Amino acid sequence: MKKFRLFFYLILFILLIAAIYFKNNTGKVYAGVGEYYYSKNNIVKAQKFCEKSFELGYNDADLREIYVNSIINSPLSLESQEKLVKIAEGDIVDGASVKAKYFLGDLKKEIHRKYPQNYIKQAPYNQKIIHWNKFPITYVFRKTNGVPIEYIEEIRNAFNMWEKSGPVMFNEVNYKKADIIIDFQASKAEDIDYGKKYVVAYTTPRVNLNKLENMAIRFYLQDPEGNKFTRNQIYNTALHEIFHALGFMGHSYDRGNIMYLAKNQKTIAEDSRLELTAADINTLSLLYKIKPDITNKGDLKYNYLPYLVLGDDEEVSYSKTREAKHYIRQAPTLPGGYIDLAEGLVAQKQYAKAIRALEKALSLADTDDIKYIVYYNLSVSYYYISHTDMALDYAQKALQIKDSEELHFLLAEIYLKSDKAKAEEEYIYLTKTAPDNIDYAINLANIYIKKRDYLKARNVLKNFISKNPSAKNSKRLSPYKMLIL
């Protein structure tokens, strides 16, 4: 009996030592399992255990290289692309990160060989890819009283041309909540202080956080001299503006492409029938194969992450800044170029220059939609340099134009620096407005945790989980596990 007891204690001691060893070396153990599966060419399980090892802080260089090799040798899904980007752009620079970056670079070259002569780098809106996520895309004509019938006909013809040429479908509707809203301005260009520029139309995206609500295209009825536009001028302009409304928010540098931005009467709206080029069509095709950062709800499937086509944030920022400067040279009295320039400068953390560009845009803004965009971006720029009074002032000016979720989120972040009680109010409002947004729930919980009101923090997170059961095991909630038990 005594021998049995000793044997039992010995087994218990060994198990205890093993448990302590496993707890302290779990990452290393998972790494060993990952290496074993990789040696057996079981790519799926190799990735799984490598990832578990990384989550526990084990970042052995050889294991990271095995991990990258396992991804490269598996189907290149969006998830796989995200894993490679995370390694390539992470804080650790080693053989694995270099290999991931080179592999992604080669894929980028392959994509551009597949879609030659494209100008996709000018596509981003506020450093992000934006486009629709469902077909058909609906459009509606509004405010058509007094509009020449040939204007309507030629705009319809332009929609038909894009539908014939690219991977898109349209459906004209008669209800207000269409994806693309087309209306008409009776004023001449000179009446809206564009310095008699030959403006036929412009497009404004309406975005709330990462949701694309609609695209608004406004056509003018007369040129600066008070004359009607010709059929070809309306048709050519519609081809251009529809591409903006599809999500291409920049311009081409090649005057042969429909998205070339010209600056004078003869070139901005040619009085001859223009055709879509191979570059126009390739750019549209590629745009709709990229996973968007901003979209509406839908079910399209994508081939590529933006990174794989456009490059890293630095490349995107450089392209956007270059394109914006070109826009300003071509159309110095239009606000769009200055807004785009500011977005690129903010990405480069050149906030003072961004603010100057936005102030110029504000002086040229002629619609509430444009003013809202400028006020919002001014608020963001001042927020980044901790000028909370100015950030709050511009946010409130934007709020007078449009009440939006993105604006309340910005206000909440500003108030976190200046007025915690109001920040709490904003986050309470946001958690009610968007109960599925984990960021709002966590940020509100953190406010209560800093106040040591742990019961309220717990209630916020428990309420979020009750409404979003699938989020219960989210990694984002891992630091709060003891609180929500």
Q: Do 263 and 325 belong together in one domain?
A: no
CATH of the domain at 163: 3.40.390.10
Element (H or E) spanning 391, and its range?
helix 388-401
**pLDDT of residue 264 exceeding 60:** no
Q: Do 298 and 323 belong together in one domain?
A: no
Select from 184, 318, 166 the least CA-distant residue to 250. 318
Q: Is residue 251 part of a domain?
A: yes
Distance between CA atoms of residues 402 and 410, nearest Å: 13
Q: Do 58 and 152 belong together in one domain?
A: no
Q: pLDDT class for 193, splitting at 50, 70, 90? A: very low
Q: Is residue 250 part of a domain?
A: yes
Domain-ending residue, one of 391, 418, 445:
418
Q: pLDDT class for 14, splitting at 50, 70, 90? A: low
Quick one: pLDDT at residue 7?
A: 59
**pLDDT of residue 89 exceeding 80:** yes
pLDDT, tens digit, 9 for 90 and up, residues 344-354: 899 889 999 99
Q: Do 284 and 212 belong together in one domain?
A: yes
Percent of the chain with pLDDT over 90: 59
Q: Residues 268, 270, 273, CA angle at the centre, nearest 5°?
A: 140
Q: Do 141 and 254 belong together in one domain?
A: yes
Quick one: pLDDT at residue 266?
A: 45
Q: Do 300 and 152 belong together in one domain?
A: yes
Q: Is residue 267 part of a domain?
A: yes
Q: pLDDT class for 225, splitting at 50, 70, 90? A: confident
Quick one: pLDDT at residue 319?
A: 84
- 414-434 mean pLDDT: 94
Task: Give the neighbor-by-neighbor strand order of the sheet with 211-220.
Answer: 170-172, 137-141, 180-185, 211-220, 201-208
Residues 264, 267, 269, 270, CA torsion sign: positive
- 402-427 mean pLDDT: 93
Query: Is 273 in contact with 190 (CB distance < 8 Å)?
Result: no
Q: Is residue 402 part of a domain?
A: yes
Q: Is residue 71 part of a domain?
A: yes
Domain-ending residue, one of 258, 293, 308:
308
CB under 8 Å to 405, separation ≥6 — which residues? 208, 209, 430, 433, 434
Q: Is residue 12 part of a domain?
A: no
Q: Do 384 and 334 belong together in one domain?
A: yes
Q: Is residue 346 part of a domain?
A: yes
Q: Do 168 and 281 belong together in one domain?
A: yes
Q: Do 222 and 289 belong together in one domain?
A: yes
Structure tokens at 436: 């599925």
pLDDT, tens digit, 9 for 90 and up, residues 386-407: 999 999 999 999 999 999 999 9
Q: Do 433 and 400 belong together in one domain?
A: no
Q: pLDDT class for 188, splitting at 50, 70, 90? A: low
Provide the domain limits for residue 269.
137-308
pLDDT, tens digit, 9 for 90 and up, residues 291-332: 999 999 877 889 999 999 998 888 888 888 888 888 888 788
pLDDT, tens digit, 9 for 90 and up, residues 283-292: 999 999 999 9
Domain-ending residue, one of 308, 332, 351:
308
CATH of the domain at 405: 1.25.40.10
Quick one: pLDDT at residue 54?
A: 87
pLDDT, tens digit, 9 for 90 and up, residues 324-342: 888 888 788 888 889 989 9
- 178-207 mean pLDDT: 73
3-class DSSP state of 283: helix
Q: Do 52 and 184 belong together in one domain?
A: no
The amino acid sitting at 384 is: Y
Q: Do 165 and 283 belong together in one domain?
A: yes
Domain count across the chain: 4
Q: Is residue 13 part of a domain?
A: no
The number of helix segments (H) and strand segments (E) in the chain equals 20, 5
CB under 8 Å to 1, separation ≥6 — which residues? none
The amino acid sitting at 374 is: V
Query: Is 346 in contact with 381 (CB distance < 8 Å)?
Result: yes
